[in-house]
C-alpha cells in the first residue's frame, strides 16, 4: 500500500513560523503536505508596532498578506485561531475544526506578561498585535481631537510602563510627533507629557552604559520623563501607583501603555506540553524533548546556547524558522541532520524616532542617524527575505519617508 504523504503543520505566522514555511516552500522538493495556520490572513512586523500606534506607519502598509507571499501550489494556508494542542493525538484544535499532523512547528508568538499586577488588564493598552496598536492610535487621536472640548490635561498625559525596547521606541516616536499633533489640534505644546516607568536602574538594560546614557539624553531632549528604579504596584484608571526610593507615589495620565515584559503563548501554557510561562524548553535541534515530532520557534521556545538563554527577538525567531526549514528538508528526504541551532547575533537597534537611535551592529556601537539607518536596513532586510525587492519598495522603511 502506498504510504500517505507526511503532514507538516506550522501554527503561527510570525517571524519564526513564516520563515519555516517559506524555507520549505523554497527548498523542499518532496510530496509532504505543508500547511500554515494563522489567526490573521496577514503578517506584520512586531518591531514596528510602535509606529502603527502613533500613526506614522499605516495599517495598510503594515499588513503583509500571506496569500501574496506563499506559493499556494506548495503551501496550504488556513485562517483559524488555534485554541488547543493535543500532542498525544498528533492534532491541534482550532475554532474551525481539528488539524492532524505528523510534524508540528509551533510559532504562536507572545502575550504581554502582567506579572500579576492589579489593573493591568483593565486599564492599560498593550503593543501586542496590529489591532492593539490601532486601538491605541485611535485613542491618542481622539484624546487630542477632543481636548478642545474636554480641556482635561490628563487626557494628554501618557504613561509608558516598561523601559525596554517596546516602551522606549513608543515613547520616542510619540515625542517626535507631539509638535505636529499640537499644531494640528491647536494645543499648547507644554500640556502633553510622556512618562516612562522602569524597574531597572537604567533604560534599555541590554545596552552598555555609554549607549544607555546617549539614549536617555536623547529622550530628555524630546521632553520624555524617565522614572527608573521604580516598581509598579498597581494600575488604576488614569493612575499608576509606584514605589520608588522606599516611598509610594502616583503618576497620573489617561493613556497607560503596558510594555513591561512578555511571556509565551497561553495555548502552550494550558497544554500538556511541559512549559514555563507558555515557553517550551527545546534541544539543540529546536525539538520538544517530550514530543520529538514537535519543533518550536520564536517566543514559544526557550533556546539555550552554551547556557546563555536568548531573549526572544524577531532576529532570533527568523533564524529559528530558517533552521527548522533546513532541518525538515533534510529529514523528510531521508538524510541525517547533525547541525545544532546556533544564533548568529548580528546586532540590535532601538529607534528613537524615525531619524535617530542607538544600538549594536556586528559588535560595534552605533548612534544617531547611522543607528536609524541600520534599524531601517534590518526591517527592509526582513521584507526582502519574504518578498524580494518589490516588497521592500512597497512596504519598506526609508530615511526620507514615513506614512505621515
pLDDT tens string 342-367: 999 888 999 999 899 999 998 899 99
3-class secondary structure, 185: helix
pLDDT tens per residue, range 263-310: 999 999 999 999 999 999 999 999 999 999 999 999 999 977 654 556
pLDDT at 219: 98
Query: Which of 84, 98, 169, 180 is labelled catalytic?
Result: 169
- Is the pLDDT reported for residue 73 higher than 70? yes
pLDDT at 392: 95
How sure is the predictor about 1, in pLDDT bands with cuts at 50, 70 and 90?
A: very low
pLDDT at 403: 46
Q: Cα separation of 32 and 6, whole Å?
A: 5
Q: Cα separation of 169 and 357, whole Å?
A: 9
- Is the pLDDT reported for residue 30 higher than 60? yes
How sure is the predictor about 399, in pLDDT bands with cuts at 50, 70 and 90?
A: low
Mean pLDDT of 118-127: 98
- Is the pLDDT reported for residue 122 higher than 60? yes
pLDDT tens per residue, range 162-194: 999 999 999 999 999 999 999 999 999 999 999
- Is the pLDDT reported for residue 313 higher than 90? no
pLDDT at 398: 86
Mean pLDDT of the chain: 94
pLDDT at 309: 58
How sure is the predictor about 323, in pLDDT bands with cuts at 50, 70 and 90?
A: very high
pLDDT at 11: 98
The grid coordinates of residue 117 equal 499586577
In 321-381 the beta strands, taken as DSSP E runs, fall at: 347-351, 357-361, 364-367
146 labelled catalytic: no
Q: How far is CA 371 from CA 46, 334, 342, 345, in A?
A: 19, 44, 26, 16
- Strand (E) or helix (H) holding 176: helix 165-185
Reference 251, options 267, 240, 262; nearest CA is: 240
Percent of the chain topping pLDDT 90: 91
pLDDT at 4: 77
**Cβ atoms < 10 Å from Cβ of 110:** 21
pLDDT tens per residue, range 192-239: 999 999 999 999 998 999 999 999 999 999 999 999 999 999 999 999
Q: What is the pTM of this model?
A: 0.94
Q: Answer yes or no: are the C-beta atoms of 126 and 170 closer than 8 Å.
A: no
Q: Which residues contact 101 (CB under 8 A, 6 or more apart)?
A: 7, 8, 9, 90, 91, 92, 293
pLDDT at 345: 87
Mean pLDDT of 237-261: 97
Helix axes 368-395, 314-332, angle to 10 degrees: 50
How sure is the predictor about 45, in pLDDT bands with cuts at 50, 70 and 90?
A: very high
Amino acid at each position: 500500500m502506498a504510504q500517505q504523504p507526511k503532514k507538516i503543520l506550522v501554527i503561527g505566522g510570525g517571524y519564526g513560523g513564516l520563515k519555516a514555511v517559506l524555507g520549505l516552500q523554497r527548498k523542499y522538493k518532496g510530496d509532504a503536505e505543508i500547511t500554515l495556520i494563522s489567526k490573521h490572513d496577514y503578517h506584520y512586523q512586531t518591531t514596528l508596532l510602535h509606529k502603527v500606534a502613533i500613526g506614522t506607519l499605516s495599517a495598510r502598509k503594515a499588513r503583509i498578506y500571506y496569500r501574496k507571499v506563499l506559493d499556494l501550489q506548495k503551501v496550504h494556508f488556513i485562517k483559524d485561531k488555534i485554541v488547543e494542542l493535543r500532542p498525544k493525538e498528533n492534532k491541534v484544535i482550532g475554532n474551525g475544526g481539528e488539524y492532524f499532523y505528523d510534524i508540528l512547528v509551533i510559532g504562536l508568538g507572545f502575550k504581554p506578561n502582567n506579572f500579576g499586577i492589579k489593573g493591568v488588564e483593565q486599564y492599560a493598552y498593550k503593543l501586542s498585535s496590529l489591532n492593539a496598536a490601532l486601538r491605541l492610535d485611535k485613542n491618542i487621536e481622539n484624546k487630542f481631537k477632543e481636548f478642545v472640548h474636554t480641556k482635561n490635561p490628563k487626557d494628554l498625559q501618557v504613561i509608558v510602563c516598561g523601559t525596554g525596547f517596546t516602551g522606549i521606541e513608543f515613547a520616542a516616536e510619540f515625542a517626535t510627533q507631539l509638535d505636529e499633533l499640537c499644531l494640528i489640534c491647536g494645543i499648547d505644546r507644554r500640556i502633553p507629557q510622556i512618562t516612562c516607568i522602569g524597574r531597572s536602574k537604567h533604560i534599555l538594560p541590554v545596552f552598555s552604559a555609554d549607549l544607555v546614557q546617549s539614549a536617555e539624553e536623547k529622550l530628555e531632549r524630546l521632553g520624555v520623563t524617565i522614572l527608573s528604579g521604580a516598581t509598579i504596584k498597581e494600575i488604576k484608571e488614569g493612575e499608576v501607583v509606584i514605589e520608588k526610593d522606599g516611598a509610594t507615589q502616583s503618576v497620573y495620565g489617561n493613556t497607560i501603555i503596558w510594555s513591561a515584559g512578555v511571556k509565551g503563548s497561553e495555548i502552550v501554557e494550558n497544554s500538556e506540553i511541559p512549559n514555563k510561562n507558555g515557553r517550551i524548553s527545546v534541544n539543540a535541534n529546536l525539538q520538544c524533548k517530550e514530543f520529538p515530532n514537535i519543533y518550536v520557534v520564536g517566543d514559544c521556545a526557550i533556546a539555550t546556547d552554551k547556557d546563555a538563554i536568548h531573549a526572544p527577538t524577531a532576529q532570533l525567531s527568523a533564524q529559528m524558522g530558517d533552521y527548522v526549514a533546513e532541518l525538515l528538508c533534510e529529514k523528510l528526504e531521508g538524510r541525517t541532520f547533525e547541525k545544532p541551532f546556533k544564533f548568529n547575533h548580528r546586532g540590535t537597534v532601538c529607534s528613537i524616532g524615525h531619524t535617530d537611535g542607538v544600538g549594536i551592529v556586528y559588535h560595534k556601537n552605533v548612534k544617531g542617524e547611522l543607528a536609524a539607518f541600520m534599524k531601517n536596513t534590518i526591517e527592509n532586510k526582513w521584507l526582502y527575505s519574504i518578498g524580494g525587492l518589490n516588497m521592500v519598495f512597497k512596504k519598506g522603511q526609508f530615511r526620507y519617508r514615513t506614512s505621515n
